[in-house]
């Protein structure tokens, strides 16, 4: 089955590297035009150049309202529509017990990982999708379905994103579908501390499929949900973790 997105336009936050870049590449390869955004204009320009003429960019801070408005207006002005929004940008400034987090890093994590996706979706809904339909894909994490010793704050924002997906799917139906992807450890620069060295070797043993994720693994699922192949799917969270959640628990 060949999945196509001809004539569609997608807007991908955090699209200059990692999972966002892979999603942009998959969409462009399927015939869509893509607008990528991130804070660094230099990174965006380099990614857009490498990904080809179907990919444009407009740099901006994902959490600044003026930047959000500017990126959305640039997308509509240059590409004419927004059929798909991918809320991919995320941050993780704190690692440690949640009970010890400081207010500044708590606020930053929630602003980027939860508040920003909510208001990107709201603005795209009002500017285009309410009248024309579309699809929203939120990039959460398998951490939002469990607990960890060091990533509790990050995982809490991702758990909330999963519920936000359900809520918005119910509110925006039938014209807009809202779905979520929850990857395990994917080999990106963002997740490097989790997969490099001894930590990665330990993580690898926990995945029944015998390997960590690659950005393209997530991009394939995003493409399926964004295209007409996902036309009867909304409010769902797909776990992409190499079987990690179903791995046997060894009892000594």
Q: For residue 231, which of 165, 137, 135 has the smallest C-alpha distance?
A: 135
Most distant pair of Cα atoms in the chain: their distance: 61
Peptide bond into 174 cis (omega under 30): yes
Catalytic one of 27, 94, 120, 154: 154
Residue 27, class by beta-carbon neighbours within 10 Å (0-12 exposed, 13-18 middle, 19+ buried)?
A: buried
CA-to-CA separations, 171 to 93, 166, 180, in angstroms, rounded: 32, 9, 15
Is residue 94 annotated as a catalytic residue, yes or no?
no
Question: Rounded to 10 degrees, what is the CA torsion of 208, 214, 216, 217?
Answer: 20
Residues with catalytic function: 154
């Amino acid at each position: 089955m060949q999945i196509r997105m001809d004539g569609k336009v997608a807007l991908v936050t955090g699209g200059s590297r990692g999972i966002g870049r892979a999603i942009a590449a998959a969409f462009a390869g399927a015939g869509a035009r893509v607008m990528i955004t991130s804070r660094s204009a230099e990174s965006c320009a380099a990614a857009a150049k490498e990904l080809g003429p179907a990919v444009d960019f407009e740099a901006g801070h994902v959490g600044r309202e003026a930047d959000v408005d500017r990126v959305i207006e640039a997308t509509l002005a240059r590409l004419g529509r927004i059929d798909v929004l991918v809320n991919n940008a995320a941050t993780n400034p704190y690692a440690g017990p949640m009970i010890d987090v400081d207010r500044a890093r708590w606020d930053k994590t929630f602003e980027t990982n939860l508040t920003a996706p909510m208001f990107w979706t709201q603005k795209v809904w009002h500017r285009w999708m309410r009248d024309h339909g579309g699809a929203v894909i939120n990039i959460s994490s398998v951490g939002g379905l469990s607990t960890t010793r060091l990533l509790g704050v990050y995982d809490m924002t991702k758990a909330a994103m999963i519920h936000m997906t359900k809520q918005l799917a119910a509110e925006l139906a039938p014209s807009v579908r809202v779905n979520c992807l929850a990857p395990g450890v994917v080999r990106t620069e963002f997740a490097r501390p989790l997969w490099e060295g001894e930590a990665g070797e330990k993580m690898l043993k926990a995945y029944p499929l015998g390997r960590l994720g690659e950005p393209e693994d997530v991009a394939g699922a995003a493409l399926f949900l964004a295209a007409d192949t996902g036309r009867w799917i909304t409010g769902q969270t797909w776990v992409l973790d190499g079987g990690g959640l179903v791995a046997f628990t060894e009892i000594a």
